[in-house]
Structure 1
Amino acid sequence: MKQTLPLARWLTAPRPDDTPIAWLDESTWTLGDLRHDVAQLICRLQQQPGERWALCFENSYLFIVALLATLHAGKTPVLPGHNRVIQLNEQRELFDGVLSDSDLNWQGSLLLVASSPQVATQSFTFAAIAPDAYIELFTSGSTGQPKRVIKPVHLLDREAELLAERLGARLAGCRVVGSVLPQHLYGLTFRVFLPMALGLPLHAAMLWYVEQFAALSHQHRYIFISSPAFLKRLDTQLSPPPVQVLLSAGGELPWQDV
């Protein structure tokens, strides 16, 4: 099994700059792009007094840029689990500012995150991430008020390692796509930590519709991170892309249904 990379080494492990990290349509972001974009955002974050930053993104590559920049800058990433301004206002006391790929009509401290082209090959030095660094998440609130969850980075690293051991060689050479948000624990674990730990390219967009799933290139094999709701909507009349591994969240079955 390929050795997994902990988050603290996603940027610093000796790998070529042209290593693919994420793609969207015809665009591909490489490790060189990631190093450059994270370094740029770290500089901006270090000029801000706030310590806790809410991450609100549609683009998963830019989400990873923000996550790494926040941690390497010694700040705390907070994942509200949504991009809704009304709810963000209600949760305003939970964070000092917002990092996002859209302006959200947010009236507080906001840093817009985008990928900028490199003018030349550069080398970057990143401050070490604290060994006790953590990510703060919130449950969806579907069964009541959203609950705060503190997830140490080293535990997320360990979970990715265990998943890689369990799934083994089946993951090799695959691309990762998903119909779940990376701002929740399930999506964060499988759409971000697992592919980044194994060096697998990830899709920067979330699949909302079965037509998007069917439109994926058939030139690649995929790990599909799904939900029961999405699987129920699959159209058997549409030709699916080559899926090597399908993972879906699910709740415990009532005993009478077992």
Structure 2
Amino acid sequence: MAKGRKKQHEHEHVDESWLIPYADLLTLLLALFIVLFAMSSVDAKKFQTMSQAFNEVFQGGAGVMDYPSTTPSETMNDPKNQSQEGKLSGLGAKDQKELSEMQKKMAEYIEKNSLQNKVETTLSGEGLLLRIRDNVLFNSGVAEVREENRQAAREISRLLEMDIPRNIIISGHSDNIPIKNEQFQSNWELSAMRAVNFMKVILENKKLDPRLFSAKGYGEYQPIASNETAEGRAKNRRVEILILPQGGKENNTPPAKN
């Protein structure tokens, strides 16, 4: 009789441990369907809100939830989104404010010295960018700054005189038409030497610290316009000056000179 009662007692208390993994599975399936629903929408704000909620629930790190849009490729290809995202990402509020004020002062200087057709400024996620078309400084296929344009380069150098030292990167860019002459075998070499030679003229300004400057050549590999048209290729042939924010990855104030 005791054995019978024991068996009956065991039947009354069924093992329910299977409910825990089952509940977890349902939770994951629910999460999957909500994510798929969110990804099917083009409402970036809705997806961003959903992403934050899921990151909090699952305590996850960086991943697909960190995309600011449901269609990253479309966002990257939209110039408006590129510029806006660039301003909002990468720069802190303090950096944005400081660089914005610097940009305003540069705009005033550019207008005062009639440099509007030579220099334009843009605030991006990397820092404050000054863009100069190559025909302002160089003859076609030549890396040396034209003698008659060295004064323009010196005027541009005054834009870089700052109370707070910042690292500055000067980069050369070209279109995609191949170059091959006695001096240069590729657009890469030409763009690099243009950046170096322009930097040399800039650093004739003794108020600038050479230790804060570096030069790069990108050739045709960072176009800002289509190379299918003459107008687009003209925009791609350029020299850029990037002023990095304080505390940026490459921004290390050098020690004082002896």
Q: TM-score range by the shorter chain?
A: under 0.3
Q: Which structure is richer in relative contact order (CA contacts within 8 A, separation 6 or more)? A: 1
Structure 1 or 2: larger strand share? 1
Structure 1 or 2: larger helix share? 2
State the TM-score, normalizing by the size of structure 1.
0.22
